[in-house]
Amino acid sequence: MPSEAVIFFLIEHCRLPLWEPSVQKKFTQAEQVKMGKVIDLHHKRKRPSEGLAAPEPWRFRKGLWRTSHFVQMRSSLAETLEYKPEGLATLPPHFSLKGGMSFTIRSMYVNRGDEKKMREIYYLVGLTDCMINQVHPILRTDLLWAMYKKVFSMKAALKVHWHGNLDQVLLPLDPEFFDDTSYRASLTKASTMKELYEAIREGADEMFDILSLEYTFFSPWMGR
């Protein structure tokens, strides 16, 4: 099955009309479903963005509340909020990015203008999550050391570090946008390290796109 990156390439650079029935007949039903999701993401990402404090792919805004943490909120709600010098009195439904997630979002914020690097960082986040939260037969063997070396090499190259108790490093997603159970199942099905890496990369890219399209991130309160 073609990856999201391949599908984006076919649409953007080869001008292949993947949405046309004559072309879709060449793919299986599962591949058609996947392409449909990616084509929708492609068109959404082409839409202009308004009132952003930083360039795409992720939306970052100045903090609106007196909080020391990054806040993640649905963009549909965030777009209705306006800045006040004294800060807003109430905090609408949101995710407060604490613990391991606080280091994740800080790394993404620092590199917010470089999508390629951001994607690599989120792939690293996916690998780290797999090591700390995923039970997998492969990771009970000597191959676990290979993943450790890969993770530490990427952390050094990308200058990403987590400190303290790592309970959760992936950023939260509402269930209507992402099926975490299916993602975990895809990791469990991997029979080789190559397949495991590919499943993590595919899941991380999908999560990255959802975070880009559906959420806005507010920085910690900086005062007036």
Q: What is the pLDDT of residues 7-22, one digit of tens each?
A: 544 544 444 554 455 6
Question: How does DSSP classify residue 73?
Answer: E
The range of the structural domain enclosing residue 16 comes to 4-45
More confident call, 144 vs 158: 158
Q: Are 169 and 119 part of one and the same domain?
A: yes
Q: Are 38 and 66 part of one and the same domain?
A: no
d(CA 35, CA 38): 5
Indicate the angle between helix axes 115-133 and 100-110, nearest 10 degrees: 170
Pairing of strands 59-61, 70-74: unpaired
Q: Are 131 and 21 part of one and the same domain?
A: no
156 assigned to some structural domain: yes
223 assigned to some structural domain: no
Give the type of residue at 175. Answer: P
158 assigned to some structural domain: yes
Largest CA distance in the chain: 58
Q: Are 108 and 202 part of one and the same domain?
A: yes
How many whole angstroms from its chain centre is CA 147? 20
Q: Are 33 and 122 part of one and the same domain?
A: no
- Beta-ladder partners of 199: none
224 assigned to some structural domain: no
pLDDT above 90 for 117: yes
The tokens for 95 are: 């995710």
- What is the side-by-side order of every strand in the sheet holding 215-218? 59-61, 215-218, 70-74, 95-97
Q: Are 17 and 73 part of one and the same domain?
A: no
Domains in the chain, number: 2
Please tell me the predicted confidence (pLDDT) of residue 143: 78
- Beta-ladder partners of 73: 216
Please tell me the predicted confidence (pLDDT) of residue 121: 98
Categorize the per-residue pLDDT at 46 as very low, low, confident or very high, splitting at 50, 70 and 90. Answer: very low
